Amino acid sequence: AQSVAQPEDQVNVAEGNPLTVKCTYSVSGNPYLFWYVQYPNRGLQFLLKYITGDNLVKGSYGFEAEFNKSQTSFHLKKPSALVSDSALYFCAFNAGNNRKLIWGLGTSLAVNP
């Protein structure tokens, strides 16, 4: 079955340090991959997507993600974390253009001052 996995329930990082939130996928064909962020008791916000082309995708709030086909990964990164980046991050994919996203379980990011 096609799926996306976020292997870490929680990531802790100090403010100013680089952060990585991991996502791996198991999808046949060429997936569309996405990252969304959710702040406490709020809806989700779109961060970035990979459809095709350059493997390094830049998104909102200084985030970027690298599509790695050989490792079937799409990790979210930021060079310097802010306390305000603390939130729940979701990786998702779409395969077959059926206009539905399949979601990972989320990773809680805590940035400590």
Q: Which residues make up the interface to another protein (CB under 8 A)?
A: 9, 32, 34, 36, 41-46, 49, 51, 90, 92, 94, 97, 99-101, 103-106
User: Where is 68: in which H helix or E strand?
Assistant: strand 64-68
Q: How far is the CB of 15 from another protein (least distance, A)?
A: 26
Q: How far is the CB of 90 from another protein (least distance, A)?
A: 7
> In terms of CB distance, is 17 or 60 closer to another protein?
60
The whole-angstrom separation of Cα 38 and Cα 17 is 21
